[in-house]
Structure formats: C-alpha cells, structure tokens
C-alpha cells in the first residue's frame, strides 16, 4: 500500500534512498577488490545469487502469492538480462579505473535518458533540455579525455554501461505501469542469476580465502538490499523528490576509493563530475516542474 505524500514520509524516503546509494557504493568497492583475484563473470554471478536469495527471503510472502506473475514477461526478461551485462561491464571497468571515475560517468544516465526519451517515449524536448544534454556530454568528455594520456580504454566500458543503464531505467518506467516493484525485483534477481549462471560455471574458480567469501557475501547483500530499499523509498516519496539524492553516491565512491585503495581523483575527474552532475540536476529539476 502506498503511503501519503507527507513531509515525514518524504524524509523517510530520502533516508531510505540515501542508504540505497551507500549500498551501491559498497557494492562497487567490494567488486573492485574482488575482480583483481577472481574472474569477473564469477563475481557477477555470485553477487546476483546472493541478491536472489535475499530477495526470496524478503519477498517470500509475495512469492508465495504468485509474485513472479507478470503482465509483461517479455519486458521483464529483457530487463533482467540487462542487469548481468551492465554489472559485468562495470566490474570489468573497475579492474582499471578508480571508483570516482566509473561513478562520475554513471551520473550521465539522466542525461542519456533525456536524450532517449524523445524518440522512445515521444517526450518533447525544448532548447533548454538540449543545451543541458550538450553540457552534460561535455562533462563526460572532460572525464574521458579522448586522445590524451589520461584516456583509458576501460572508460568506454563505463560509457556503454551508462547507456545500457539508461535503457534499463526506461524499461523500468514502462514496467511500472504493469507490474509491482516487488514483482520486478524478483524477476530481476532470479532472471539475472539464471542468465549468467552457465558462463560463471564454465569459468568457475573457487574463492581461496575466507575474506573473498565474506566480500562476495557483502556485495550480494549490498546489491540486493540496495534494490529493495530503492523500491521501498518510492513508497514514501515521489521520484521527483528522491532523484536529486542519487548524486551523493559520488561522495561515498570517492571516500571508499581513498580509504580502501588510496585513490585520489584528479582535477579532470572532479571538474567533469561537477559538470555532469549540474547538467543532470537541471534536467531532474525541469522534469519535476513539468
């Protein structure tokens, strides 16, 4: 049941979405540490396996009442397939890039969504939105720095991930009109786990240390809990209220990158991130007004 849109509920929603993006930062941090010693595909699968088990535990009552029944199973399957692909590309990029770099590029997702929404959803774009999109992509170019010594090919993986994540969000918008968030959560976790399992088993390499198992459990829990908290946050507050708080994730990414790996983002990453965030925040503001 949806809650009334009150000031108290909005604060609860903001608190939940803040916890969500901390979970996602922990997920990326743990994955970056793991992929230096384990195959990427294995880390992705074990992350979604724990996610699926957590989803089954948290949503057991709905699962027992036919929670996997969907009005748009084709779209659910497509969305579930996107998840391991995006996660795999992101984890692959994290082998070579700082958390702040991949995180900054991911903030281009609202910009890509605005660009794709015109042809895919028929949304009208005014000059101000086009200008914000152009500025946002200029910020991405500052981060990527093509043709310079600061460019790393893994940055292209992050750009592809951002594009796929924008498509993923558009699919989520479409499914919201047909299925409950819990149904979508179950399809995502089970579908992603099943899709990646054959590739993970083919590349199986048992983690050799207890710490590896602990971090695998941590990232699976952080991913599953993050998705659950995100769905829960939208029960307390509208998306237009919650959306600006996604940018706090870059703070967690920079902090964890420094504490765990000793990474300090350079001036280009910080400048580009500021431009991308400003552009995305403006687009979110325009969407809220309209």
In order along its 290 residues, the chain shows pLDDT tens digits of 455 667 788 888 889 988 999 999 999 999 999 999 999 999 999 999 998 888 888 777 776 676 678 888 888 899 899 999 999 999 999 999 999 999 889 888 878 887 887 676 666 777 887 888 888 888 888 888 876 777 889 999 999 999 998 888 888 878 877 888 778 888 888 999 999 999 999 999 888 889 999 999 999 999 888 888 887 887 787 766 777 777 788 889 999 999 999 998 888 888 988 888 888 778 777 766 66
Q: Which of these, 45, 22, 44, 79, lies nearest to 226 by C-alpha position?
A: 22
Q: Which of these, 177, 181, 188, 169, lies nearest to 76 by C-alpha position?
A: 188
Please tell me what DSSP assigns to residue 38. S
Q: What is the pLDDT of residue 229?
A: 85
Q: What is the pLDDT of residue 93?
A: 95
Q: Tokens 């890039």 appear where?
A: 97
The C-alpha angle with vertex 52 and arms to 46 and 53, in degrees rounded to 5, equals 95
Question: How far apart are alpha carbons 160 and 113 in whole angstroms?
Answer: 13
Half-sphere exposure of 152 (CA within 13 A, CB side): 15
Q: What is the pLDDT of residue 7?
A: 75
Q: Which of these, 164, 132, 161, 158, lies nearest to 145 by C-alpha position?
A: 158
Q: Which of these, 255, 220, 275, 263, lies nearest to 105 by C-alpha position?
A: 275
What Rg do the C-alpha atoms of the chain give, in angstroms?
A: 19
Please answer whether residues 28 and 87 qualify as being in contact, where contact means their C-beta atoms are separated by less than 8 angstroms: no
The domain limits of the chain are 7-289
């Amino acid at each position: 049941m949806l809650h009334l849109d009150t000031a108290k509920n909005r604060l609860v929603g903001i608190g939940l979405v803040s916890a969500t993006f901390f979970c996602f930062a922990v997920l990326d941090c743990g994955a970056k540490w793991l992929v230096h010693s384990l195959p990427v595909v294995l880390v992705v699968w074990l992350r979604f396996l724990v996610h699926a088990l957590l989803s089954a535990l948290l949503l057991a009552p709905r699962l027992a009442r036919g929670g996997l029944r969907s009005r748009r199973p084709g779209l659910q399957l497509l969305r579930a397939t996107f998840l391991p692909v995006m996660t795999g590309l992101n984890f692959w990029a994290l082998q070579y890039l700082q958390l702040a770099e991949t995180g900054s590029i991911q903030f281009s997702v609202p910009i890509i969504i605005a660009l794709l929404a015109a042809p895919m959803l028929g949304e009208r774009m005014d000059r101000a939105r086009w200008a914000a999109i152009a500025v946002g992509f200029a910020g991405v170019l500052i981060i990527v720095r093509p043709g310079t010594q600061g460019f790393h090919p893994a940055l292209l993986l992050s750009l592809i991930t951002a594009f796929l994540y924008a498509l993923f969000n558009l699919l989520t918008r479409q499914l919201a009109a047909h299925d409950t968030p819990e149904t979508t959560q179950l399809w995502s976790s089970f579908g992603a786990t099943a899709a990646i399992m054959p590739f993970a088993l083919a590349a199986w390499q048992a983690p050799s240390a207890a710490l590896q198992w602990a971090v695998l459990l941590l990232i699976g829990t952080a991913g599953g809990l993050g998705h659950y908290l995100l769905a829960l946050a939208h029960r307390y507050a509208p998306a237009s209220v919650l959306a600006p708080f996604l940018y706090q994730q870059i703070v967690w990414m920079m902090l964890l990158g420094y504490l765990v790996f000793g990474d300090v983002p350079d001036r280009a990453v910080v400048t580009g991130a500021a431009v991308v965030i400003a552009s995305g925040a403006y687009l979110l503001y325009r969407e809220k007004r309209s």
